[in-house]
Amino acid sequence: MAEETTAPSARQIELLEAAYQYVLEHGLADLSLRPLATAIGSSPRVLMFLFDNKDGLVRALLARARTDELAILGRLAQTGDKAPMGLLPATEQVWAWLAADEHRPLLRLWVEAYARSLVEPDGAWAGFARATVHDWLAVLASCQPPAEKDSEQGAIRRTLALAVLRGGLLDLLATGDQARVTAAVRHQLALLAGTARLGT
């Protein structure tokens, strides 16, 4: 979205939310302003006025998707006065969320945006993939005990955990084979737990 000096209007927020629900169902790849505007009870002219152009709308939609992602991840990091839950329990909780059927629309949108940001690094998608990697790694780090979090091995282990989650997610979205993929994710996390006990 273009830089603004004032807060978004109620109408802008309303249309952004409606557009977000639309792209969760239809995706962003072939997004066209006219059918989108018709579906959400607006017009291309209004959308252009509120978001400057199509790229501005796409950036706003990606920011909206990232807000959902961060809200989900943030719940893991909120331990209050308790000790961090640990990398493996956190990774298991993230996978349980990723594997739930009701989250498929958001996750398909996330994968689409991630891929587009890699092949169109200077477009409206710019920086999305890098930002989401940093987001996920930061939350996983917050779930590690301080001594582990700040070590080289701690960084390696959370990077591996993220790779397992991302690979499992891509497989799950492609095949829908939740039982097989979940078994594979759990197997890899058990191996990761074994390396932690060995101190490697």
Range of the domain at 19: 10-198
Does any domain span residue 3?
no
For residue 5, what pLDDT is reported?
Answer: 46
For residue 197, what pLDDT is reported?
Answer: 55
For residue 6, what pLDDT is reported?
Answer: 63
Residues 104, 173: contact at Cβ < 8 Å?
yes
Does any domain span residue 2?
no
Does any domain span residue 4?
no
Can you give the chain as a three-state secondary structure string? CCCCCCCCCHHHHHHHHHHHHHHHHHCCCCCCHHHHHHHHCCCHHHHHHHHCCHHHHHHHHHHHHHHHHHHHHHHHHCCCCCCCCCHHHHHHHHHHHHHCHHHHHHHHHHHHHHHHHHHCCCCCCCCHHHHHHHHHHHHHHHCCCHHHHCCHHHHHHHHHHHHHHHHHHHHHHHHCCHHHHHHHHHHHHHHHHHHHHHCC
pLDDT tens digit string along 132-160?
999 999 989 999 999 999 999 999 999 99
What is the distance in angstroms between the CA of the first residue and the CA of the last residue of the chain? 45
The total domain count for the chain is 1
pTM above threshold 0.85: no
For residue 28, what pLDDT is reported?
Answer: 84
For residue 122, what pLDDT is reported?
Answer: 83
Does any domain span residue 62?
yes
For residue 77, what pLDDT is reported?
Answer: 61
Residue 115's domain is classified under what CATH number?
1.10.357.10
Does any domain span residue 47?
yes
Low-confidence ranges of the chain (pLDDT < 70): 1-6, 76-81, 195-200
Does any domain span residue 26?
yes
